[in-house]
Each structure stands twice: as C-alpha cells, then as structure tokens.
Amino acid sequence: MSGPINASHQTDRVLIVGAGLAGLACALTLKSGSIPFEILEASDGPGGRVRTDKLDGYLLDRGFQVYLTAYPEGQRVLDYEALDFHRFAPGALVRYSGKFHKAMDPWREPFAALSSILSPVGSMADKLLVARLRASAMAGTPEQLLLRPEKTTMQALLDFGFSQNIITRFFQPFFGAIMFDSQLRVSSRMLEYVFRMMATGDTVLPGEGMGAIPAQLAARLPADSIRYGARVEAVSESSVTLESGEVLQARAVVVATEGPEAVRLLPRLPQVRCRKAMTAYFGIEGPPPVDDPMVILNGNVQWPIHSCCVPSVVCPNYAPEGHHLMSVTLLGESQQEDAQLAGVLGSQLGRWFGDGVKRWKFLRLYRLPHAHPVNAPPTVEERPVELENGVFVCGDHRFFPSIQAALENGRHAGEAVANHVL
C-alpha cells in the first residue's frame, strides 16, 4: 500500500467504519445528537449482511433471512408500515421418513401444534416440555432472558428432558437453521430469546426484500454522509487510513464491521470465529412446490440441504408474475463450483418435490463466510462498545447474531460516542 496522499482536517466529525445495521444505528444516534459524522463503507450500498439483489425480476436476499417483528429495537427504530411486511405462517414443514410433516406454531400453541410432528416420533412428555420451555421463555423481560445462567442449547434441551426424537426432528433443524449450527452449541439464552420473539410477534419479509430494512435507515441520514467504495485499511484514536492511502482525521472512530474485520483493525479485540453458510436460489416457472408460507426443514440433519423456503409464497414480490423463488440454505462451506453444487441440491430437491425440479433454473449461490459470529457459552453478553479514548466498536459480534443486536449495539455505541465528545 502507498503512503498517505491526503490528510483531511475535518477533526470535528466522528468516523464510522461500516454501513451495516450497527453502523447505521450508530449514525442515527449521532444524528439525533447533532454530532457530525461520516460512514466509510467498503461495498457499494448499505446493509452489510442484510442486502437484497434484483435478478431477472427476482428478489435475492444475500443469504435467506427473516425479520421478527417482536424485536424491541426494531420496534423503536423501524417504520413497520412502510416496510410492508408479509407474514410467514407460524410453524414449519419438516421433511423426514419420505414425507413433509407440518408443525404448526409450537411456540404459541405447544399442545395442538406439535401433535402432527410428534405423533410418529414424539411423546406426550415432549409436548409438556415444550409448554414448560415456553413458560420459561415468557417469564421476565426479553433483556432478562439474556442474563440467565447459560449452557449450550443442546445441553439445555437434554436437561429439560426432551426426547432425542424431538431434538433430531425439530430442534436441530429448526433452531440449527436460525443459528447456523445444527449441533446446537449456541447459548441457551439464544434459544429462549428467539423462542420469545417468535411467540410474541410475527416472522416476516419486507415487501421489497430484507435490504429494505437498512435502506430505510440509510434514507434518514444526510445524503452525503455515507461514502461507498471506501475500504478502511487501518484505524487509530484520531484517524482512519483508507485502502487508497487517504488519511482522514476524526474526533472519534467507531469500528462497525463484521467480527473478523474488527479484529484485524483493532488487534486488541478477542478473536471472533464465525459460522459459515450458503444460500442457493432457483427460479420456478409455474406453481410453487408447496403452498404453505413456511420454512421447510430437513428433519434428517444431513448435508447438503439444511432448510429451504419459497419466499414468493410469503411475499409475491420475490418472483416475477407467474414464477416462484426457491431458496435453499446450507450450513458450512463447500469447495464445489456453484453450478456443480446447484446440481447436487437439484438431486435432493428432486427427491423431495418431484421431476418438475429439473425445469427449475439455478439463479445464484451466495457464500457467507461470516454468516454469524460463534455464540457459544459463556460469551453471550453485551461487551463494552468503548475501548479507549476515542475508539469504539459495535456490531453483532459484540452481542449476539441478529438484526436486533446489531441495531441495539450500534445505538449503544452512538450513545457512548455522544458521551465522549459532548
């Protein structure tokens, strides 16, 4: 890299590195305190891991994901009406023993809900335990759930007394899909928190794709406050050096990148390991393979397909007229070329949905090396956003992987910066 070619003297502003949800939430907090700031974003748009591409009339979220309307921070900062949410039906379709089994809304109606999925494999005891787990997750505030004693989710389910059948058939595919961890090593705090969010709100997709969420926040910032294509190479207490060599002076610096990049920029942070995932999209001409607006889980927890979904059944905008979109989520990574992997997925999808799958068109594969920061106990707690004089850090890796945590932790960073500079 060449040396500095320019040194800006705008020392009254705060520089935020990254325009993901945490960086945007931080910026909005600074804006409300009339503190000058600029966001430096390496890519060409806002949102980080929450972006949507348009391809041939399809909306492709960069990794299939959903929004939970019960997220407290989302309720604070997002305009839900403008986002035009489309709801999933509560529950899931689970594929095992050669059939799809419908598990309707286990969080809100634990008894009625699990009868279909449990009948061939589960027990009355499992149903009672789901009710007990629900009662536990509904007690106290959502914030208090994140302070409870924690263990791995797998250990928590075993200690609750759940049978291996319901763990394998339901919890591993369902919660494993949410946390990108089919072995359920993720903290039990996350199990209860997500359970609580699903029980008290809706699971939705915005009418214009998940990218509409950060786009709404970015639109509230001054037009020239985000600089795109500005990859940050290094940070110090009072300056930021771009990859281009340009040096920008700052009153304070907030690193709001994904975890591993934050560690590169701030080597004193502890290492952040990440769960990897991939999402493949297929275009379908004609009717969808399933009519239920639900996520479809692989109840055999075998690679490659972990879960799939037809987002266009939930929200028709996801596919052009007369077409549907199939999204397939895989955990981990693969050395196979995109088209080759799509072929492997096509074979498994063909066994599930029949010969029509041969006519589906492979659209795109997203490889997500930093899908989620690893979130195993004993680490699930909000870590300090202020590191030392003038250097701040925020993002999901400082709290827990979710839109809720990125927004909340970003706001906390903005509040800490305001305290520092005012």
Ligand X SMILES: Cc1cc2nc3c(=O)[nH]c(=O)nc-3n(C[C@H](O)[C@H](O)[C@H](O)COP(=O)(O)OP(=O)(O)OC[C@H]3O[C@@H](n4cnc5c(N)ncnc54)[C@H](O)[C@@H]3O)c2cc1C
Which positions touch ligand X (CB under 6 A)? 17-23, 40-43, 48-50, 63, 65-66, 231-232, 256-258, 261, 277, 279, 368, 371, 395-396, 401-404, 406
Q: What is the H or E stretch that residue 353 is in?
A: helix 338-353
Distances (CA, A) of 409 to 22, 136, 238, 413: 6, 25, 22, 6
Residues 169 and 171: their CA atoms lie apart, in Å, by 7
**What does the angle CA 401 – CA 144 – CA 73 come to, to the nearest 5 degrees?**
50
State which residue, 126 or 258, has the beta carbon closest to ligand X: 258
Is the distance from CB of 303 to CB of 347 less than 8 angstroms? Answer: no
State which residue, 23 or 304, has the beta carbon closest to ligand X: 23
State which residue, 167 or 190, has the beta carbon closest to ligand X: 190
Query: Smallest gap, in angstroms, from Cβ of residue 21 to ligand X?
Result: 4
Query: Smallest gap, in angstroms, from Cβ of residue 40 to ligand X?
Result: 5
**What does the angle CA 62 – CA 68 – CA 70 come to, to the nearest 5 degrees?**
155
Beta-strand runs (E) in 197-273: 203-206, 226-227, 232-235, 239-242, 247-249, 252-255
* 246: region left, alpha or beta (phi > 0 left; psi from -120 to 50 alpha): beta
The token duo for 182 is 């089919």
Query: Smallest gap, in angstroms, from Cβ of residue 243 to ligand X?
Result: 8
State which residue, 46 or 106, has the beta carbon closest to ligand X: 46
Query: Smallest gap, in angstroms, from Cβ of residue 49 to ligand X?
Result: 4
Do the strands 247-249 and 239-242 form a parallel or antiparallel pair, or are they unpaired? antiparallel
Beta-strand runs (E) in 50-167: 52-55, 58-61, 67-68, 85-87, 91-96, 99-104
Our measurement of the distance from residue 89's CA atom to the centroid of its chain's CA atoms, rounded to an integer in Å, reads 19
The token duo for 47 is 């949102």
Residues 366 and 380: their CA atoms lie apart, in Å, by 27
State which residue, 152 or 279, has the beta carbon closest to ligand X: 279
Query: Smallest gap, in angstroms, from Cβ of residue 416 to ligand X?
Result: 16
State which residue, 153 or 279, has the beta carbon closest to ligand X: 279
Residues 100 and 84: their CA atoms lie apart, in Å, by 30
Query: Smallest gap, in angstroms, from Cβ of residue 97 to ligand X?
Result: 28
Query: Smallest gap, in angstroms, from Cβ of residue 20 to ligand X?
Result: 2
Distances (CA, A) of 291 to 21, 138, 314, 317: 32, 31, 9, 16
State which residue, 83 or 403, has the beta carbon closest to ligand X: 403
Query: Smallest gap, in angstroms, from Cβ of residue 361 to ligand X?
Result: 22
**What's the DSSP call for residue 397?**
G
State which residue, 41 or 292, has the beta carbon closest to ligand X: 41
State which residue, 162 or 195, has the beta carbon closest to ligand X: 195
The token duo for 3 is 């040396």
Beta-strand runs (E) in 62-188: 67-68, 85-87, 91-96, 99-104
Query: Smallest gap, in angstroms, from Cβ of residue 67 to ligand X?
Result: 6
State which residue, 34 or 271, has the beta carbon closest to ligand X: 271
